[in-house]
Structure formats: C-alpha cells, structure tokens
Structure 1
Amino acid sequence: MAAQDATQRSTFIAEEHAQKILDIDTALAERVLDGLDDDSAPVLADLAFYDRLERLVHGYGQVDALSVFSADGRLTATSLRYPTPPVNIADRADFRDAKARPTELYISGPLTGRVTGKPTFNVMKGHLRSDGRFEGLVSIAMSPTYFENFYRSVVDANPITIGMIRGDGAVLAWYPFKVNRPGRISTTTAFFALLRSGREAGLVTMKSSVDGEEKILAFRKVGNYNAYVTAGIAVGVIRSAWLARFAVVAIVTAVPCLALVIIILFSLRRLNQEARLWLRAEEETSRRAAIEAIAKENQRIEAVGNMVALVAHDFNNLLMAILGFAHAASRQAPQQRKESMDGILNAVQRGQNLTRRLLSVSKKQPLRPESISLVEWSRQMGLLRSAVGEGVVIETVAQDDLWDVRVDVSEFELALLNIAINGRDAMNGRGRLTVAFSNCRAQVGDHDSVLSEYVRIDIADSGPGIDSATAKRAFEPFFSTKPPGQGTGLGLSQVRSFCELSGGHCSIAPAIPTGTVVTLFIPRGTTSRADEAASSAVRNATENSESVRMLLVEDDEMVAEAQAAMFAAFGYDVTRSPNADDAYVRLQPPHQFQVVISDVQMPGSMTGIELAEYLHDAQPDLPLMMLTGFVDQAERLRKLGVTAFLKPLTEVAALDEWIRRRVKIPEGNVSVPQG
C-alpha cells in the first residue's frame, strides 16, 4: 500500500509539472502564430523576428530552440542562431504527422534535433493561411534532460523510476537510466494495453520492458495532451524494504526508545521532502496566476479608463449644447424659442445615439429587424452625402435582381454612416467613396459547410489605405488611428456588433496605397408590406380628443416633473406617484385612472416590475407602459406581455399614439404591441 501511494503521489507531481510545461509551449506557439499572416516570408527572414523568438524562449530551461518551418519543411527562422542555417525536415515522420493535424499541438517521439544537434522531442503546431491551406509550422525543441533533472528532485533517494511517454509508447524522458535513455516501451505489456483501451490513470503490476524488473507502476495522462507520466517501484525493492522494516520491528522490540526516534526522524524527513515539492509547485502556480491577474486587471483598467474619458468628453459636449440652448430659450421671445427647443431635442437624440452605440458594442442593444429593398434605399442616401461633404463623390453600384435584406434600419444606416465618415477622414474630405451591392452565398462559420444567402456590401474609399497590423485591430472597441479627441474608436466596433447581431459578418481589406475596403455580409430577407399597412392604419386613426387620466410613477423628482409637463402638454390629466408602493395603494379598485406610466427601478418594498406583475394579473385591461434604461429589464417585461420603452424617451409621438389607441379601442379588439 505504501509503495502504491508513493508511485501515485509521484505521478501527480510529474503530471502537474508536465502540464504546466506543455501549456507554456502552447502559449509560445500561439504567440508566434499570431505574428504570422498569409505572406510571412519577409517577416521570418528579418533579424527582428529572430530577436523576438530569442526573447520568447529566454528563461525557459525546457526549451532548446523555437523554430518556424515552411510548408515544404525548410527551416525559415530559429531562436538558436541568425542567419538561419540550411535545414530541412520534410523527410521526418514528425513533420508529416504534424502537417496532417495542423490544428492540434503535436508531440513527436525522441530524436536528435537537426537544429540543436541534441537529443530532444518536438512540440509542433501548424500555421494555416486564411483560406485554410497549410503554410508551415512552429516547432519547439524540448530538452529531455530538463524533465529528468526535475524527476531526480522528486524521487530524491527513493528507488522510484519516473518517465514521460507519448500515447504510442515512445519514451520522451526517463529517470534513472543506466546507459542509454530507452526509446520505446513494449507494446505487449499490461500497461500499454491500458493505454490502448483509453484509460487516463491507473495502477498495474507488471514486468517492465525497460529494465526487466517486476514493478508496481502508476500512470496518469498529462491534461488533454498525447502524453503520460509513469512512476514505478520494483517489487524486489518493496520486499527488501519489508524485510528491513521487519528487522526494525525486532530492534524496536529490543530498543523501543531508539527505534521510536529513528521512525520519527524517517517520517519527518519524508514529510519535509513532500512538503518542499508541494510548496514549490504551489509557489509556481501562485506566481503565474498573480502575473496573469495583474496583466488582465491592467488591460481592464486601461479599457475602462479610455471608455470613461471618451464618453465623458462626448456627454460634456452634449450638456454644453443643452445648457446653451436652454439659456437662449429663457431669454427669447415665444415665437423665437422653436430653434432652441429643436437644438435641445437634437442634443438629446445625439446622446441617445451615443448610448445605443455603447450598448451595441456590448451586444445589449435589441435590434428591430425588418426586410428592406436596398435598391429603393440606395436612392435615398442623403444622410451619407451630407455626412461626407461636397468634396467626396459617392458612387453606388447594384447588381441586377438584388436581394432584399433583413436588418434594423436605424442600426444599418448608422453602420454605413460610421464607415463613410472613416473613409471621408482617410481621404481628408476629398475623394471617391464607392458603395457596391451584390448577391452572394457564403459559409455561416468556420466549421459549417452550409452556404447561406447574403447581400454583400463593399464600401471602398480612395484614401491611402491601412496596413495589416491596423486591419487586425480595426474592429476592436476604442481602437482608433485618429488623434486624441477626434475619435471614440467605437465606430467599426459598432459595425461588427451590428453585423453579428443581424446574423452576418464583416471584414476589412488592407491595401496600400489603393485605399481601404470594408465589406458587410447582411442576411437575405423578403420585403413585407404587412407592417407598413398596420403602421399606416394606426397613423390614420383618429386621436381621442377626450382628456385621459394618467398615473405617472417616477421616483426622480426632476424626471417626474418633466414627464408630467410633457404628458400634460399632450392633453393628459396627470397624477404623480413617487414610488411603486404609493402607486399600488392608488390603483386599488375602484379608481379612475385609464393608463399607467411607470419607471422600473424605484426605492421601497415594491419594484416597478413587481407593480407590473400585479397589474398584469389583477387588472389586465388597464393599459400599462414601463420605462427603463436597461435592456434586460425591458426583455423581462416583454416576456410578461407588458409594453416597455427604453430611456431616454425620444419616440414621444409613438407613445402618445399607443396610449390613445389603447384607451379608445374597446377591450379585446387590439393586441398589445411589444415595445
């Protein structure tokens, strides 16, 4: 039992160590692959790339060399020396195996490295082009000696053999070995049969094919990698130990005190050894976790800082505009106040648009998709033309029989407006902007072979273009190439979020010096006139001229006062309630209220949602409208069948129309619209 415990403890320690090393290898390979693109030959031949490889492996004693090989097996870059020596591994089995499985982290068998000239085994990962074609691979030459030195510290003076083997039995590292490191274990052993059966951990008694001794062998798979660690102790050693302990018992019987001291010292020595090993492993884990946490926190703080600064700057401008128009309106004659009031409304709508862009970037902005004809829409591009100015010529090209698309029209126009403004700035206000529409069929995802139907929209400018590094980061939130204060970095990020939420995708093509092309893929839709007819019927309905008694539930005094004044101006008889608890009392039957407008978040024992649930169950015929600034709350209310509008409330006419329609039409004749 003690021998089994010792071997299993050793496999736990060796497996944790091996998994950390292979995780580091995976991260190194990914960092190298992130720096490569479809045409990476010029980069690989550069001295700067060699310096980068050398810095990446600096301090990692397990790595003998970090190398990059081309698709035909030629060595194109290595951390070992510069210039790159003429080495080709196309004839090696490990290269062919790694090429056959380029997306996996491949572990080779033991070999002598052609780059290092030392005994090694390679950890490889393939480099694929954007079209999926094999471009080469990254190879990390590992040092078996590094692992064996660690195993020496684990077993110390104990008669335990520790090894790391590949899933097919190839020996990657082994300690101790007498003359030569073994190359492969026998495929006829009970241990190999357990590996073939898919077992990831176990304990077996068998005759070792390496040293010929009968052993108790424990094994454990290294994470998700094709590698196992083993720890074995010879049965003969166990017998010798048992005889020795029997002799010790005899001695203890004769000299109990001395024997007790010897046992205590022996136990303490073993405990100290294990404690040192576990402490070393825990310190390494804690150190790496602390470094990763600090890096992530710094990135988060930087991103939040950028967001706060940019949003605060834009909202300060909006507040200045509102303040200026308000002061002007207070001093103007009644007939002159319209322009100031329009300016205040425009500033509020700009603030709403900024909020929608932030929510769209975070994918919390609900879309209202509808099918539209791009042919008809492209004839009304006044917004784009006014945004880019007279110095930019907009040219549209549309394929015959162009499909319709299904999008949120406002978000779609905002996405095109962001791209057009970026193109205008890139051309310094003068040039040509080409918008091309065409039908296409493309894959939905990287692993899906089903072709979906899209309308492809290519927006190309005649500016100087962008490089590959900028193109890779173009869609990141808050990334901007404009000077500080001239761009929020939310434009293209909003475009990507809009495309993904609409079921499509987007891309950007770098091209120097021929301009930049941004491509949108929007799902095909079918134009329906049903909604247009319904909306027209509502717009043509005669408004109720009678005064409507309204209960307005709002805890913010300033907001309540403004909303009450607004609804009173529309002709409603408004009663204000400061919270849901007060509204609950006022709404106990019988009451005279014909419609309820309520906020969601309010102080007190009852929330706005709880008030909505009560009215939905107890007074389903009483029209209820909820106002909230949170999308998740609006979605929850809509699932209850309660209409919800998002703050800030700029669609006042639509709200007035909804109230009058609900109050005027008798019960059962109209279904509740969903926000």
Structure 2
Amino acid sequence: MIADRPERPDERTHQQPLTDDAPFPAAPGHDFTVRRRTLLALLIAAIVLPCVYVATMAYNDLRAREADATDTTLRTVRVAEEHALKVFDMNEALDARIVDLVRGLDDDGIRANEAQIHQKLDAIGGGYPQVAAVSIFGHDGELLASSRFSPPPPASIVARDDFTGIRDGRVIDHVSRVMRSQVSGETVFNMGVARRDDADVFAGLVSVALRPGYFSSFYHDLLGPSSPMALGLVRSDGAILAFDPPPRATRSAITPNSPLAAALARGGESGVVRMHSALLDSNVIVAFRRVGSYPVYVTCAYRTPAVWAAWYRHLSVLIISMFTPSIALWCVIWLSLRRLAAEEAAWERWQAEASMRRSIESAYRQSRKMEALGNLVGSVAHDFNNLLMIVSANVQIARRRGAADLERELSAIERALKSGQSLTRQLLGVARKQPLRNETIYVGRWLPACRELLRASLGAKVSLVVEVDDGVWPVLVDVAEFELALINLAVNARDAMPNGGRFTVRARNTSFRPDEGFPLDGDFVHITLEDTGAGMPADVLARAFEPLYTTKPKGTGTGLGLPQVFAFCERTGGLAAIDSAIGAGTTVHLYLPRSLAEPPVPRPEPHEESAGMQHGLNVLLVEDNEEVAAGTEALLQMMGHRVTCASDAASALEFVESAHADGDHASPFDLVLSDIHMPGTMNGIDLAEALQGLEPALPVILVTGYAEELDRARHVDVRVLSKPFDIALLEKTLEAIREERQARAKRERDATL
C-alpha cells in the first residue's frame, strides 16, 4: 500500500519505515537462520548417517546369511548325493548278480529251482539294512522267487508302472514310486532290471525293494535336531522317494510347475532355486543334485524364515548399539533448536514492541499536526457544506418544477454535488468534525459482507483474501466511515500493485495491558490490511497520514485517503499504524476498541402506506444563511408545508413563546427545523433544549456538519441530519413526524370521548 499513489523507482530504499526513525539493524551474534540451518544439518546428519550405516550393514548381513544358507545346502546335498549314489550303485550290482544267477533259466526253470534260488537271494540281499526284499518276476509279471518267502506267495506286478516301464524300455521306471509291498505290506520303492533270454527278448524282471525309512534316518542323522533344513530323495518327475523331516502336508510328489519341478524336468545336474514349499509351508532355498546317471535327485531345502529370524536378532543388536547414542545426540540438537526458537521469538517480540512504540509515537505526533490543520479544514468544509446545500436545494426545486429540457445539466450538477459531498465528508473526517452515526457491529459478520465492495475498489488484477478469526468482538463505529476507510486502503493497494497482486484482510482479537508500553490499553479488534506491492520509502511513510499530502500525479489524488483512515480510528477510540518495507509490501494496522453492547437486531422496514402528504405541516425554519434558508423554504413549500423563517435561535424562540404568552397552548408550529451552528448566544441545541421545556413540546430537527455539535445533540430528544442532507431523507423524516402527530391527536380524541 502507498500514500495515495504508486512509488517511483527512484524513491525505493531498503528501509523499514515503521516510523520516522531508522530501521533496526541486524543484531550482532543473532544470525538465527545460519544457526538454525547448522543445527538442522547436524540433526539430519545425525539421523541419516546412522540410518544409512545400519541399512548398509543390515543389507550386507542379510545377503551374507543367505549366501551362507545357500553354501550349507550345497554342502549338505553333496553329502546326501554321495550316500544315495553308493546305495544305488550297490543295488545295481545286486541286480546284475541275480541276473547272472538265473541266466539260461526260463520261468519254469526258476520255479523248479525256487528253493535253491531263494537261499541265494537271501544270502545276496539279506545283509543290507536298506534292502527289504530281492525278487524275480516272470515275463507275465508273476512272482517266481523272493528272498523273503519260499515258496513265494502268488503275486503279479503286470500292472505296475515299473514293470511296464522296464519292459518298454523307459529309464525313469528303473526306480519306481513309493508303494506298499503286495507280499510283506512294507512301504518300499524298487530298483529293477530286465531279464532277457538268449534271443534278447524280455523274459522278466529282477527287482530290489529299498526302504525309504533308511534314507530318512540317514538324513535325520545328517541334519541333526532343530535344523532349519530338510533333505529329500525325489525322482526326476517329482515323485518323492524319501523326505526328512516329515512334511506337514501329505504329498507323494513336489508341487507341479514350481521352480524345483521345472529345474528337475530340464534334467540339469545340479542347481539352486528359491520358492515357496508346500511340503514345508515356508519359503525356502533349495539345492539339488542328480544321483549319478539315475533318474533320481537329492534335494536340500533351507527355510528362509530361519535366515530372517537370525538376521532380525543381529539387526536388533545393531540398532540398539548404534541408535542409543544417536538418540541422545538427537535430543541435544532438538533442545538446541527449541532454545534457538525461543531466543528468536524473544528477539522478534522485542523488535516488534520497539517498532510499535516508535510507530505509535510517530502516529501521535501526526495526530497533533492533524489537529492543528483540522481546525482550518473544518471551517472551510462547513462553509462549503452550506454552498452544497444551496446548490442541492435549487437542483431539487428545478426537478420538482419539471425542468425536463435541463435533465442532462441537472444530472451533471448532481454528480458534481456527490463528488463535493464526498470531498467535504473526507475533509470533515480528517478534521475530526464529521458527524458520526455510530452503531455496534460484529466485524466477523460485517467484514466478509464487504467483499464485493473491496473487489470493486481493487480491480480485476488484484486478488482478495479475507481471514476472520472465530469469535471476533463487536465494535462501535460509524459504518459509513468504516467502509470509506476500507475503500481508501483498497484503492491505495490497487495503485501500489499495477501489475496485480494479493490484498489480504485479517481480523482478530487482541488485548493490551497498561504495563506493555502500548499507548492504549484494553480489548481491541485488530484489523490488518496487507498488500504485496512495492512498499513505501521512509520519507513517504513519515508523511503518509498527513492531510493533503499526496505523491500521486496531479488530478489523481487528494491526499485525504490515509488521513481519513487515521482520523476514523482515532475518533473511535483506537489507533492506526503502517508497517512497510521496500519490495515487501505494506501492512496497515487498525485497532478498534471492543464494544460491550450487543449489535441491534435488524427490524423489518415499516410499510409505507402513501408517499404523499395528507396535510402539510407548519414548519419553523431557523437558518442564518439566507441562500440556504431560501432554498430549503422553497423545497418545503413544494412538499406542501407552510414555512416561517427565523434568522437565529433567539428570534425562533420568541415566535414560539409569544404564542404561549397569548394564552394559546396550541403552538402555531408543528415542528422546528434548525441549523445548529448559528451566530448569537444560542445555537440550535440550546433552542431545542428550550423548546423541550414548553408544554406541549415541539418536534425538532437539527442540521449540522460538525461532529462536536452532533455528540451534544445526541443527549437531546431531537432528530439530527448531517450536512449536506439528502432531500429524500428530510421528506421521510417530516412524514414520520406528521404520522406521529396524527396518532397523538387520535389518542387525545379517543380519550376525550
């Protein structure tokens, strides 16, 4: 905001012109920004560096533990593979010995020598714990001889997969799936080879039945108790031959389409995969190795939750050891930041209080200058008011007489009258002589309702923001003067932001105690009006509230805008101050005292029955200015009233008293219309007080342009119009008086009857 015009580029400075004095220098040793940034950098470093270190160590530890788990599975699966290879090689050798034993014998020959063959089969396979039975089957799948029974019970394996697979030459079926033996009922899986006659035709099958429990027992001993690993022996098609520990789910094969099943199907020799195991119901790292050239793999699964559990334990120790001292350092830095914030707040409060004191002192010096100038301005404005009254009255007379051919000229005169009335109002306001019509309003409700008024004053380029706290106190102000003050400030803000900007209006409650150094004490509503313009230099700000001072181009400013704002606040019992800095905009502070009275409840407008007068009134017009009296008399007569003129209050009082002296209690006048400021020993208020002492009392309308007279007039039971008054308002007031007199006369007649 500026003093009635935008600043010129050569006027800009780097000062903060809160007052006439120089701005506050930067406090040595109080570079709060640098200190805050340093502490924040230390705090960030104290947080980030330990976190980065812990994250790096945790990541590396997790990768190392996973690598160790993978190495462990690879070593374990290698041991299990060597064990399985020895067993399978031995079984293959047993099959070869049995084939040689029965070479040259057909099925009937084997049956004929079954007793001798049984003894030899028992001798061959009976000494191995993994071997459950050794059997010879004929070309039709019938059991011919067994190491377990002699003679063998009737049994046939013609429908078994291993029999048909070996007969048809499928390699995978040389190792069967796990099954229950038809003869002994024991759970086994078989390794078999084909018997062939001299013509190399399939003649039967030699099978060695192996116990899965033998492998499971070996795996249990290899892993030890509470091991996170599991060992298994599976065929290349995923069929499980042996597994330890026993899986939670009863399954005969690994999950199809799993990473391990896919790896086994590809026929690789060895590898490592990560997957979720349905057998263990856990995520696992699985290492696998093929057992020699057999269609069998040894698998070792390491549960990853065990890896994570160990990693969590190590991470908790690492976090405790690392962050315990870090938390202590964080607390120290945080306390340092709080202390720095407290120091900065104290420093800013001291600066603000000192700035406010200097600003208020400057404002009071300005007030004294304005008081001296106001006396002169008030006298000029009063005489100018009388001239405006003469012009206004004669324009109304011309309109009422129907001067249709002068409509354009009369409209131009009326526009000039409104401009003159606005200028007079500003002059009287600056001089503290403008009559105030104070009323109690809620700022919280009233201020948002002024948005459109402010938007119109700001223009399209400036955005408006209104922020009002909840529960803002009511104030006792002249609403018209309040609106004029806001308009003046909005116009100044618009001129300070020719390229657009933001105008912010805020309202909040504030209180001052006598010991705080503020010139006023008590409860106030603090209204701030802030723009984002270029700001004001110190020399302009020092004279911003001075009447008739303007830096605007000729013809665009009167120098009465900011002085009117200052005078308005002062006359309400408050204060106005400006805070501005070049390049940082301007903020105007309005302090309006809190009103303890509640705002009046709005009442509906009375219904107007008729605009015309039924009977004219007898009006005693008291005016010392002949031109004003002539114009007002003519207007009243055109309204249908009868007018008697008096040039001063003493003459008017004689007119009224002479009627009472003749014994006529009924006054010849219905009302008295009098100016307040008149020559002689009596003014209009003295006349009104004298007339109220008569019986019956006459209605009185007083006209004034001075605030001091208006304040006194409020203590008298009269109606008051401020100069220059609106003719329509005068007519409405006369109509109200006429209706009151008619109502009183009716009540008197009714009482007489």
Q: TM-score range by the shorter chain?
A: 0.3 to 0.5
- Per the normalisation by structure 1, the TM-score is 0.47
